[in-house]
Amino acid sequence: MTKVKPTAPLDHKIYYPAFKSHDARFDGRVYVAVSSTGIYCRPVCRVKMPKEENCAFYNSAAAAEAAGFRPCLRCRPELAPGFAPIDAPSRLSRKAALLMEDDCLYDSSMEQLAKELHVTDRHLRRSFMAEYGVSPVQYLQTYRLLLAKNLMTDTTLPVTDVAFTAGFGSVRRFNAVFKKHYRMSPSALRKQAQPAPLAGHDSITLYLGYRPPYLWSGILAFLGGRSIPGVELVTDDAYHRTVVLRHNQTIYRGWISVQHAEKKNMLALTISGTLLPVLPKVLMRIKHLFDLHSDPAEIYDKLAVMNRIKEGMCVPGTRLPGSFDSFEMAVRAVLGQQITVKAARTLATRIVSAYGSAISTPVAELTHTFPTPEEICSLEGPIENHLGVLGVTGARAKSIHALASALLNGDLELSRNSDPDLQLKNLLELPGFGPWTVQYIAMRALGWPDAFPHTDYGVKKALSGYSPKEILELAEQWRPWRSYATINLWNSLN
């Protein structure tokens, strides 16, 4: 393997003013390393301001650690928000990073990752180095360490559980790598952090950062209006849902709750203990669902022109609601074709009641998990016989079955890691999937920021007075954030 040299630091003259002003727009994009302390921080850190000559700036936490710096225990770089996958030249490297974060490569290697991305491992290393300033191996190790540090700081999980949850093959290896990078043992960090045990149910609570502002009420209202009773519950200040995830032929079921820790610019995520073996997957899906990778300032700068159409149409901090379960969301999209949101919700509730799996949770309203593609495909006989009695038309029942089959066969991939152009093409080949449906799925399941369902009733209503051609022409000025523009258009109708 070719040895990769650490990346050179960024121009301190550009980034020191951002660090000095604690500009949150640079959080997760730039890290400051202080030579006098050997520690690296986020630009939002409130420690005593170091001298400019003692500062070096890096474009990733991994690059700072590769240069010999250890993370700040106060601002906690593991909580910094990530990137949104928008730039085509960077898409390969960022997709690789997302795949690594999804499961910490528990059961695969860098060579297998490169193969999955259809490139050579050499090309992957070269592209990754150009984007992040470190090799993929260094990035993965830093992610594992930061996840472990998060667990050691915020939970009372045993060190053994922390090590394996963060992707380390043994406790001995975990202790050795932790001591080498952070100059203290995991137990010493735990003693210093003194996390409070969570009273009540078998669960842990972690924090995930975002770039402010965050329109929490907006995303809660969106999810609440589309929540599926039994699977989801949205209250005045929190989102709750059941979870079913498969890993290595094992199915894990549990529950999660998400609340807004506004003063910290974070979301507080409580996870049932049954989901610890798939914790990285849960974290990635929550980041996707609540759009924690986006840069609201950059998006608002582009979409503020919408306020010329109607005052207050574009609101700073508006997020693009993603999905936790892409199959569940895609089924909802099919059910929602040419009917109201309320009617689609009713049909989804009937499907859950008939074919979802019962689950016990501490939230009385959470009673079932949504049916998986495997469960839908295992139904005997024509799918219309099963879903038709629930009020689902024959055509839509066939669309749902085709969707489940395509996901099982690997003919379709619905995640933030997938290629939007390819998956939209694959979706259009399925029966009953038209332009509106695939654009909506691109927005929410793929998290693609530039989707635009221009034929949507709500879009046309918000832009009444514009012809379909004029709507498309108008939306050109909103690229590459047309998905966010769509959410703002829908919100303007409330």
Which positions are catalytic?
41, 456
Distance of CA 407 to the CA centre of its chain: 20
Q: How far apart are CA 216 and CA 317, in angstroms?
A: 8
Q: How far apart are CA 420 and CA 443, in angstroms?
A: 10
Q: How far apart are CA 236 and CA 221, in angstroms?
A: 9
Phi-psi region of 49 (alpha: psi -120 to 50; beta: other; left: phi over 0): beta
Q: What is the dihedral sign for C-alpha 80, 86, 89, 94?
A: positive
- Identify which of 76, 96, 94 has the alpha carbon closest to the alpha carbon of residue 84: 94
For residue 363, the number of C-alpha atoms closer than 13 Å in the C-beta half-sphere is: 25
Q: How far apart are CA 438 and CA 426, in angstroms?
A: 10
- Identify which of 80, 312, 319 has the alpha carbon closest to the alpha carbon of residue 213: 319
| Tokens matching residue 209 | 């950062």
* β-bridge partners, 240: 233, 257
Residue carrying the six token digits 């690296």: 40
At 199, the amino acid letter reads A
